[in-house]
Each structure stands twice: as C-alpha cells, then as structure tokens.
Amino acid sequence: MTLDLLKSKTGRTLIESHRGVEGDVPENSWSAIQRGRELGADLIEVDVQLSRDGVPFLRHNYQLPDGRWCHDVSWGELKELKIQGKPLPKLEDVLVWARDASVHLSLDMKTFFKPAGNLTKEVIRLLERTNTKDNVLLLFFDHEELFHTKLAHPDLTVRALLTGRLVNIAEYLQKIKADCLSVSYGLFRPEDIEQIHSIGAALVLIDYWNQNSDLFQQYDIDVLSVGNPINARKILNHQQKR
C-alpha cells in the first residue's frame, strides 16, 4: 500500500529513521533496519549502491574500510565482507522483507561517481520483480535522474535531496516532477512549506535538533527524519505538550 506523506492526510508528522537506525548497531545493516521497524518508524531510510557486476546493496560510504571503491568490487566479494561485524544487505532481500512485513523504505540512491542511470535501472528492475513499488520512495541528489525516473515511471514516489535553498521552489519541484523534498532545519522557511504544499508535495525535515522550538505545532511538517525514532517521538511529544 502506498504511504500517504502529507500531514493533511495522515493527521500527524511521520517519522523516518535514518540509515535503518543510528545508535548501538551498524548503520544500513539488517540489525539497523529491523531495529528501526521495532521502534515504530513510519519510513526506514537506507543507502543503496551498485556493485561492479550490477547488484544493488546497502551501504552509505562509497569506499570500503580498506579504501577500495564499492563500485569496483563484485557482489561475490562484497557479500563475504563484514563491516563492524555485520554483512552488507542485498537490496533484493531487503525489498522482499519490506513487502512481507508491510514496511516502507526510503531508498537514498547513491549515484555519485557512477554513470547516470545504472543504479536506478537496477533498482527499478528489482522493484518490479519483487512487487514493491508501493513500499518505497526513491531519493535523489541527481535531479536530472529523478526527473527521467518519474517521467518513465509516474507510479513511483520520488524525493528531491538538496544542499541549499531554491528560488521559486514550487515551480522547480513541478518541473522535475518531485513528490516530496528534504529541507534542512537551518534552511527551513515558513513561506517555503506553503509553496511546497500548494502543489501537493510533501516536506521532509532533516537535521533537526531544537527541542525548545514549537515548529511542529506551528506548521504542517509532513515527515521528520532522524537517526532514531525514539528521539523523534520525544521531540514531537514534547512539542505537543507545550
């Protein structure tokens, strides 16, 4: 089932757990994504890369601890590695788990340092094979790739990742066909959320740390993305009591 993101539809701010969960387990590991689910995250964000032979797997850093680039190593070798004592999850296995457990995933497409389209093509092939299009959001820093992905697959939910603030944000999101947008707390402006919602797109707030603010009472922030759902719940419950 496709997950509604807009607070105007859900009646609350959804919680996204970053890299599975951050804390006492290795990020992007099976332990992390399962822990994120146990802690009640509405969305579990993970990082997806592509092996040399075209197998998508979970890892944030582009290099392995020994300095080799992940995309230069075959899956046959990668699957035998353990980082912080944990193996690298294969995306196909994670998608099957998400489908069977009714979990929603935010897949951060790690497309830096790679030919355009390769990772996205393989991920979409897996989504179709595992019947999990409704279980995922695809996250892109590469907005050109986001646009062409949405153009070819309008049934997918795509999110634009940013490192700055846009001029005419609503117009831009419509142009690239983004369904939602990540906004850093330091760059959050009330007028931007009005523009984003005016076109039916959702806002995901990241890098939030100020528990003394009443931001979530004042504005319809759709998703709060944090390292641990427990911290997100404390923030949201604290502000509701103010």
Q: Which two tokens stand for residue 192?
A: 């931007």
- Write out pLDDT tens, residues 183-240: 999 999 999 999 999 999 999 999 998 877 889 999 999 999 999 999 999 889 876 6
Q: What values do phi and psi take at 28, rounded to 5? A: 60, 15
pLDDT band at 116 (very low <50, low <70, confident <90, very high): confident
pLDDT the model gives residue 85? 95
DSSP structure string for 12-81: S-EEEETTS--SSS-TTSHHHHHHHHHTT-SEEEEEEEE-TTS-EEE-SSSB-TTS-BGGGS-HHHHTT-
pLDDT the model gives residue 1? 62
pLDDT the model gives residue 239? 66
Residue 242 has pLDDT above 60, yes or no: no
pLDDT the model gives residue 241? 61
- Write out pLDDT tens, residues 3-35: 899 999 999 999 999 999 998 899 999 999 999
Quick one: 163 exposed, middle or buried, by C-beta within 10 A (0-12, 13-18, 19+)?
Answer: exposed
DSSP structure string for 144-190: HHHHHHHHH-TTSEEEE--SS--SSHHHHHHHHT-SEEEEEGGG--H
> Letter for the amino acid at 148?
H
pLDDT band at 2 (very low <50, low <70, confident <90, very high): confident
Residue 106 has pLDDT above 90, yes or no: yes
- Write out pLDDT tens, residues 149-170: 999 999 999 999 998 999 999 9
Closest CA to 132 of 160, 155, 109, 113: 155
Give the pLDDT mean for 108-131: 93
pLDDT the model gives residue 179? 98
Q: Which two tokens stand for residue 215?
A: 């931001």
Quick one: 186 exposed, middle or buried, by C-beta within 10 A (0-12, 13-18, 19+)?
Answer: exposed
